[in-house]
Structure 1
Amino acid sequence: MTNGGQTFRTFAERTLWAQGDGSTLNVFDTKVGRLGGLICWEHTMNRARQALVGLGEQIHASSWPGLSTLAGFSDTFDDQVEATTRHHALTSQSFVVIAQNPVNQQVLDVLEAALGPQEFLTTGGGWSAIIHPMTPYLAGPHTGPEEKILYATIDLEDITGVKMFVDSNGHYARGDILRLSVDDRAAVSVSRTSGNGVVPMVSGDPDFSSEPRPVTTHASACATHAPAGVTHAPAGVTHAPAGVTHASAGVTHASACATHASAVGVRGG
């Protein structure tokens, strides 16, 4: 459904992965409803969440790592997951499905075989749940290193009832005073302008076509609006003292050397 490009990478993730672009911040029509999603601490990015709200998200897929298994996070991370996902359920008026990956002994064995003893990591994680838009749990929360599937029955009509109180894409959005602008174009790494004045297109460009686009310029360098030396009256007929000019010599319109009127142009010849 999407390429999974996370809009922002956290801490050591940035040593391996780059940031995603706005093309992955989307909501999709499915048989069960309009589905969107975020990864990990993207849930703290309020404008990213509101972007999904603005697209009419009904079911939110919330993906998290088992960071509670890491030293320093064991007492706080699951609380963060719960707080941010229940908050999104209410503020987006959507059903939130949370899946946090567990760390079991098999994971530790693989890491230790490749990197040596893991003194800062232990087994655990797996905090997962399904949350109603009014925030009660429909399934879970489950936690632990074993794999488990959570099931719940949802009714999208419940969203209408919640929106009678809070509608973050309607009366609670206050579009008259608050705005959000989202650039959902796919980012391209290279953009070129060729020497013959034609811009070659790349497949990542949202306006891609097989035909190249011509480059349009406002004025050519050194092109003048009137030839130098042309006067408004025949030579010798003076309407003003000699030397009074109609426009200052050298005044440019846009491009270098392009003049509004010729230098030496006078009201009378």
Structure 2
Amino acid sequence: MRTTLKITATAAVTTALALGLSACGTSSDPGAGSTASADTSKPLVVAASPTPHADILNFVKKNLAEKAGLKLEVKEFTDYVLPNTATQSGEVGANFFQHKPYLDDFNKKKGTDIVPVVNVELEPLGLYSKKVKALTDLKAGQTVAIPNDTTNEGRALKLLADNGVITLKDGVGTDANLSSIKDAKGLTFKELEAATLPRALNDVDAAVINGNYAIEAKLKPAQDALALEKADGNPYANFLAVKRGNEKDPRVVKLAQLLNSDEVKKYIDDTYDGSVIPSFGAAK
């Protein structure tokens, strides 16, 4: 998979600050990425999806990091796998691109030991189309594309069910898959990698697209989505994450504080106009 690199730097790290942070994952695997072996005088390299994650990090780098004594580098990835494997290997010190259900599934399947640090924002998942103008225009025989990774597929199907597009079997949760559909109402589903869904809009009747990829494709979720996730009680906040053992790296602690600052909240509100929503607090 192709990755794009953007590296920026500011000033040096200063004092270590204590911060109680929640963790999840498997047993620790000490290595190059652990706090004990990390050189905290070097920049903190953070892997991120381009929009909005890298944009938010670059705002922090340009406007807040130097004053806070944090040296920050941002490394962009265009998929959902490499940021975690790079964090696990120690190639980067942290990542910012994912939500808890995705991370839990990734750790379980890949044997990685990545843990969340602090929630930052929510990108509501939405249903988009270039061929129909409203949910009621979706008819039997039409095709809807959905993300093919476990957690986002379940999330997409729940969005469709919540809006009456399909009916799921009783008791199905966020781990829903195509076999969980009780009544597809004549629709056909096409499972695709999340990053490719915006490009698929020309080939299908509708597609459920992650917020970051929708924004990159110049879609405006708050305006263009036929259906959009609600923010209240949503478990899909995106967070800063590290390899277990690095939660109290002073650079990570400082970045966590900056990502939950009033300045970042204002930046998100002003930049994304409801398509990305601040969702601050300790990740659990």
Which structure carries more helix by proportion? 2
| Greater relative CO, 1 or 2 (CA 8 Å, sep 6+) | 2
TM-score, with normalisation over the residues of structure 1? 0.22
- Identify the structure with the greater strand proportion: 2
